[in-house]
Chain A
Amino acid sequence: MAYFIVLPFFAVLLVVLQRTLLDLVFGGRIGIEVSLILVVWAGFHLDMLRGGVLAFFLGFLLDCLSGTIMGLTTFVYVMLFVLSSLLSPRVYGERMLFIMAYVFLCVMLEGLFIFAVYWFIYGTDVSESLLRTTLPQALVAGVLSPAVFTLFNRLGGGVYAGEAR
């Protein structure tokens, strides 16, 4: 229960930090999508209810704050969480190289989905955004993901310990 009480506050804090302090690190050019790394982490470490609600909430917050198509990030985050969840029993998700490659792939998948929505629904070609924004973003997220995973392992452990008490 403590998890669901902490979740909204934690999610709001994470999203705000991502949009402010972390956005400043690269001068607003390349964002570090920590929220997406958290969704992937949740796919490997949390059950469907906890992780799913977390992914949904994070996506919804980002849609509300910066999205122009409501529900786009929410849908992508939920799908990436479910995909990671399905994959988790089949692979060992603690290997550094695997985490890096998988997070890279997830960010690229998110970019491709946004590209597809713009292409098929609005008839707008945003392919250059894939190269200029998504690719560097995916590389940065991939490189930083093992450290972020370690951080979430500790934070997640803390919440579980709190619940157990």
Chain B
Amino acid sequence: MFKKYLAVIVAFILIAVSLVILSQSLRRPGSPGIMKKLVFEVTAPVERGIHSSVDSVGGAWKRYLFLVGLEEENRELRKTIAALQGEVNYYREMSLEGSRLRKVLALEDSTVYPTIAARVVGNEGSSPFRTILINRGSRDGVKDGLPVISPDGVVGRVIEASWNYAKILLVTDYNSNIDALVQGSRAQGILQGGGQRLSRLKYVQRTEEVKVGETVVTSGLGGMFPKGLMLGTVARADKKDPGLFQTIEVVPSVDFSKIEEVLVLQTEKE
């Protein structure tokens, strides 16, 4: 009797359990469970091993069979340029802010946050969800919600942290929404990830004059990301669509397919 209905019972239980997990996740997004942490801890080292093997084979191929030395130098120069670009951007932002507010307020120097350097150990480019795994977790001080950056700009934020690893929601994921502003025009909006497409800067009034090529940075509103971090550049801005807001597309400043090291900003006050 029981055997006859075993298949139906098993199917029912599995569907019910998966539905409960899904509904719980939709109701309380980002609530980490012990199972998730264990999965990170088990799979991340294996991924890390495979990644480093592939990287080392690929790196050796490039270094020894192609341009010996030049590739290394080029990489260093690119890193330096990216770091300087970020610095220039930061100073430009500070300068603009200073000139606007000098007459009104005496601003304190912006707080420099402590950082945690981490290596990317998992990056599935083809998934519909845009996330990466890093090799730092709660033991190193990584917590949910902390911003993650690279020399090129904002990478995303921590959505789940196990003891030694953490999952980062990239700015290109559809679920990523960051308070942003266009550096030149000071137009404010919400930068939403576009998956494989360009990100969209939403809720920018039609009255704002936004130009292609302008830099988009974090606005500091919302409390998650500090002000002035590079997000990307405006690729398209038009007012053809009817409605209150204009359509603005933004190219993210970070090349997520080549991301290797990141910094987690410890923005939370102890």
Contact = CB atoms under 8 A, between A and B. Distances in A.
Interface size grouping (class) on chain B: 35 or more
A134 B129 CA distance: 12
B226 interface: no
A2 interface: no
Interface stretch (B22-30, B137-145, B183-191): B22-30
A129 B14 contact: no
Interface of B: 6-7, 10-11, 14-15, 17-26, 29, 35-36, 39-40, 42-43, 46-47, 50-51, 54, 122-131, 133, 159, 167, 169, 173-175, 192, 195-197, 257
A68 B175 contact: yes
Interface of A: 12-13, 15-17, 19-21, 23-24, 26-31, 47-49, 52-53, 55-56, 59-61, 63-72, 74-75, 78-79, 82, 85, 111, 114, 118, 121-122, 124, 126, 128-129, 132-134, 137
B15 A79 contact: yes
Chain B interface mostly:
helix
A20 B27 CA distance: 31
Given A16-B46, A20-B50, A65-B43, A27 B22 contact: no
Given A27-B125, A114-B128, A132-B196, A78 B18 contact: yes
A118 B39 CA distance: 25
A19 B54 CA distance: 13
Contacts of A129: 128, 174, 195-197
Nearest 9 CB-CB pairings of A with B: A28-B125, A31-B126, A71-B22, A71-B21, A70-B25, A48-B7, A64-B39, A75-B18, A74-B18
A48 B10 contact: yes
Contacts of A72: 22, 25
A70 B54 contact: no
B35 A64 contact: yes
A165 to B, nearest CB: 24
B26 A69 contact: yes
Chain A interface mostly:
helix
Given A15-B43, A28-B126, A49 B22 contact: no
Contacts of A114: 128
Contacts of A26: 126
A111 B126 CA distance: 13
A15 B43 CA distance: 9
B11 A52 contact: yes
Nearest to B129: A68
Contact of B127 (A31, A53, A71): A31
A48 B6 contact: yes
A56 B17 contact: yes
